[in-house]
Amino acid sequence: MRPTIGVLALQGDVREHFSALRECGADPVSVRRESELAAVDGLVLPGGESTAISKLLEVFGLLEPLRQRLRDGLPAFGSCAGMILLAREVLDTRPDAQSLSGIDMTVRRNAFGRQVDSFETDLDLTGLDDGPVRAVFIRAPWVERVGDGVDVLARVPSGPAEGKIVAVRQGNVLATSFHPEVTGDLRVHRMFVDSVRERAVSSAR
């Protein structure tokens, strides 16, 4: 089956995720309304500006419906700003910023520094075969704390941020500090699409 996977299309790099999802065998759709959210099998929260996206979630009436769908087990994948939004706690953010509590973790916003501090590195990511992932970090967060039910999938291998957590999964929810949608490596998206497909098939039985 081709699962219907929404991409939260309020702000950020929506088009790149659309392309990656389609190549991985999903039918991507834009999500800006509660009715569109209700119709998807999974959801991608793209990179962008996390505080702006959280405000727009309130403006578009999506904040509480999305929190509820996550509580109900909706598979979700957040990259960069999407990781920040999915966290239970966010450090170095505005006091009025909202989070979705999709993953029991504490995230530090803009942990790697400003835009000029953006960088790339190779990461070994648990669950992926065929070698390391080329990870692109752009004003990226990192994870400072994870709860008991959270699997750490990748850490920075070297440099000043060595050992920092940059990919996690809790149940059906996946998050990365980096942007897999910009490299052409589809393995992270394929991992997510496969998990959405498996849940959709099991729910249909």
CA dihedral for 49, 180, 111, 44, sign (positive or negative)? positive
Overall domain count for the chain: 1
* Cα(43)–Cα(186) distance, integer angstroms: 16
Q: Please tell me whether 169 is known to bind a ligand.
A: no
| Sequence-separated (6 or more) residues with CB below 8 Å from residue 173 | 70, 75, 76, 77, 78, 86, 102, 103
Structure-token pair, residue 127: 């669950």
- Whether 17 is a known active-site residue: answer no
* Residue 163, Ramachandran bin (φ over 0: left; ψ between -120 and 50: alpha; else beta): left
CA distance to 28, 32, 43, 130, per residue, from 39 (Å): 12, 12, 10, 34
Spatial contact of 5 and 196, defined as CB atoms under 8 Å apart: yes
Q: Which of 16, 17, 24, 80 is catalytic?
A: 80
Q: What is the pLDDT of residue 205?
A: 66
* Cα(88)–Cα(49) distance, integer angstroms: 17
pLDDT in tens, 19-72: 999 999 999 999 999 999 999 999 999 998 898 999 999 999 999 999 999 999
Q: What is the pLDDT of residue 116?
A: 43
Spatial contact of 76 and 45, defined as CB atoms under 8 Å apart: yes
Q: Which of 16, 17, 24, 179 is catalytic?
A: 179
* CATH code for the domain of 79: 3.40.50.880
pTM above 0.75, yes or no: yes
- Whether 198 is a known active-site residue: answer no
Stretches in the chain below the pLDDT threshold 50? 116
CA distance to 86, 94, 108, 134, per residue, from 81 (Å): 9, 14, 11, 19
Q: Please tell me whether 109 is known to bind a ligand.
A: yes
Q: Which of 17, 24, 181, 189 is catalytic?
A: 181
The whole domain housing 104 covers 4-204
Spatial contact of 111 and 164, defined as CB atoms under 8 Å apart: yes
Q: What is the pLDDT of residue 189?
A: 97
**First CA to last CA distance, the chain:** 14
Backbone angles phi, psi at 37, to 5 degrees: -60, -40
